[in-house]
Amino acid sequence: MSSAILETPAAPSLVVDTGGFAGTRRSDFPAVRPTGYFSPDADPAAVQRFFAANGYLVLEDAFSAAEIETLKRETTLICRGERGELPDHPRADPAELDDSVLRRFLCIHFPHKCSAVMTAAIHNAPSVAALTHVIGPNVKFMQSMLFIKASGKPGQAWHQDEDYIPTRDRSLTGAWIALDRATIDNGCLWVLPGSHRPGILWEQQWHGDRRFDCSDQSVGFPYRDEQAVPVEVAAGSVVFFNGYLLHRSLPNRAPEGTYRRALVNHYMSCESFLPWGKTPDDQHNARYDYRDIIIVAGQDPYAYRGYADIQKPTVRPSGEGGCDKWGGTTRTYPAATERTAPVHAPAPTHLAHDD
Ligand SMILES: O=C(O)CCC(=O)C(=O)O
């Protein structure tokens, strides 16, 4: 681990090695396969056990090299406005170089709403099989995000995705598809293994840290940054992580002109309502069920409710030039700091074993 990232002495990893068969490997990165990296032919029970204990796993070789090339090409076309103009981003001049266009974006939300290629990725067969192992037989999709993250772009501070997309059964699962090799240098994901297990949504606050984008950070949890695990993966791998898992990414510090692109799709069980976004005035919160979803496996017991088309692609502010939602350029940024000390921290020891 780089000393620029971790200044304090190493703390023991929280990863629980559940053993089991990890499958036939084709990837050559990372050179030594860490615990929790599986092939599509891995034993489903081993996949399920590792995910239940640690809250994440890597599925290697889920996408072929050709599929990844298609997704990267499509990413460029979306950024150029060739799949429809994005809010506040007019279509790019055909003479403008791709690199100059791509650098304008940190992340585009809901790219599947304008792109058949992005929609097809939602149904990637090895990923859907893994989702049925970790969620259950009935799986629905509700959200996509396309990270471009050119060199120099910020990361995302510690957070839990269920803070943003609440399920009723804690089944939210991110599928983070690496379009480029993701490394510590270029801003891969970092996870706090097992941090999903208490089922607590930690408080959030503004981080005031230039390493991260405009989203708040989670605070008050009983884990240290040094216990985090970098999830370095080859292009075509998918990192699955539970919606209660604390995770973050650091800035892309790789050489200029390179990217750390990732398509992140979110899924959950079909059995749970999805009380996401604003509840319509005529409905009780407890019965609200967001229906702009796609069923990817099994049956939807609420199919009789019908389906909606609510979202459009949006562009996430990256933090450069100030974040309007936090007060724009008038907001003061203290010196870069790690997160604040835990305020009400239960002992983490119960995380260090398998259920
Ligand atoms: O890809 C990243 O840099 C961050 C992704 C993330 O935090 C998420 O998908 O929730």
CB 56 within 8 A of CB 190: no
The region that residue 30 occupies, defined by phi over 0 for left and psi between -120 and 50 for alpha, beta otherwise, is beta
Using the predicted structure, report yes or no on whether residue 92 has a pLDDT greater than 50: yes
Task: Provide the domain count of the chain.
Answer: 1
Query: Nearest C-alpha to atom 2 of ligand 1 is from which residue?
Result: 249
Mean pLDDT of 254-261: 95
Distance CA 37, CA 59 (A): 6
The CA 253 to ligand 1 mean position distance, Å, reads 16
- What confidence tens digit (pLDDT) does each residue in 95-118 have? 999 999 999 999 999 999 999 999
3-state secondary structure of 68: helix
In this structure, is residue 7 part of a structural domain?
no
Q: Quick one: which of 149, 154, 150, 132 has its CA closest to 141?
A: 132
Least confident of 39-43, 75-79, 208-212, 315-319: 315-319
In this structure, is residue 6 part of a structural domain?
no
Using the predicted structure, report yes or no on whether residue 355 has a pLDDT greater than 50: no
Structural domain range at position 199 = 37-351
Question: What is the per-residue pLDDT for 329?
Answer: 42
Token pair listed for 307: 């389906």
Query: Nearest C-alpha to atom 9 of ligand 1 is from which residue?
Result: 264
Using the predicted structure, report yes or no on whether residue 191 has a pLDDT greater than 90: yes
In this structure, is residue 90 part of a structural domain?
yes
Using the predicted structure, report yes or no on whether residue 326 has a pLDDT greater than 60: no
Q: How confident is the model at residue 342 (pLDDT cuts 50, 70, 90)?
A: very low
The CA 108 to ligand 1 mean position distance, Å, reads 12
CATH label of the domain that carries residue 342: 2.60.120.620
Arithmetic mean of pLDDT over the chain: 89
Mean pLDDT of 5-24: 76
Question: What is the per-residue pLDDT for 331?
Answer: 41
In this structure, is residue 11 part of a structural domain?
no
Distance CA 243, CA 178 (A): 18
Distance CA 206, CA 333 (A): 10
Question: What is the per-residue pLDDT for 10?
Answer: 64
Distance CA 40, CA 20 (A): 14
Q: Which atom of ligand 1 is nearest to the CA of 264?
A: 9
The CA 305 to ligand 1 mean position distance, Å, reads 31
Question: What is the per-residue pLDDT for 322?
Answer: 53
Question: What is the per-residue pLDDT for 317?
Answer: 78
Q: Quick one: which of 292, 290, 295 has its CA closest to 270?
A: 295
Task: Name the packing angle between helices 125-134 and 44-54 (round to 10°).
Answer: 60
The CA 158 to ligand 1 mean position distance, Å, reads 10
Pocket around ligand 1: residues whose beta carbon is below 6 Å from it? 145, 147, 155-156, 161, 174, 176, 187, 247, 249, 262, 264
The CA 299 to ligand 1 mean position distance, Å, reads 29
3-state secondary structure of 205: strand
Least confident of 122-131, 156-165, 334-343: 334-343
In this structure, is residue 20 part of a structural domain?
no
CB 291 within 8 A of CB 311: no
Note if the pTM is more than 0.85: yes
Our mutation pick for probing the ligand 1 site, out of 189, 191, 245, 246, counting the most ligand atoms within 8 A of Cβ, is 189
In this structure, is residue 289 part of a structural domain?
yes
The CA 301 to ligand 1 mean position distance, Å, reads 30
Q: What angle do CA 115, 61, 150 make, to 5 degrees?
A: 55
Say which residue, 172 or 206, is predicted with more confidence.
172
State CA 226 to chain mean position distance.
Answer: 20
Using the predicted structure, report yes or no on whether residue 330 has a pLDDT greater than 90: no
**Length in residues, the chain:** 355
Mean pLDDT of 59-69: 98
In this structure, is residue 124 part of a structural domain?
yes
Q: Which atom of ligand 1 is nearest to the CA of 174?
A: 9
Using the predicted structure, report yes or no on whether residue 327 has a pLDDT greater than 60: no
The CA 262 to ligand 1 mean position distance, Å, reads 8
Enumerate the β-bridge partners of residue 178: 262
In this structure, is residue 105 part of a structural domain?
yes
- What confidence tens digit (pLDDT) does each residue in 167-187 have? 999 999 999 999 999 999 999
Say which residue, 88 or 269, is predicted with more confidence.
269
Please enumerate in sequence order all residues whose Cβ is within 8 A of that of 293, keeping only pairs 6 or more positions apart, or say none.
Answer: 140, 141, 142, 274, 300, 307
> Is the sign of the CA dihedral 161, 254, 76, 175 positive or negative?
negative
Mean pLDDT of 137-142: 98
Question: What is the per-residue pLDDT for 21?
Answer: 82
Our mutation pick for probing the ligand 1 site, out of 184, 264, 316, counting the most ligand atoms within 8 A of Cβ, is 264
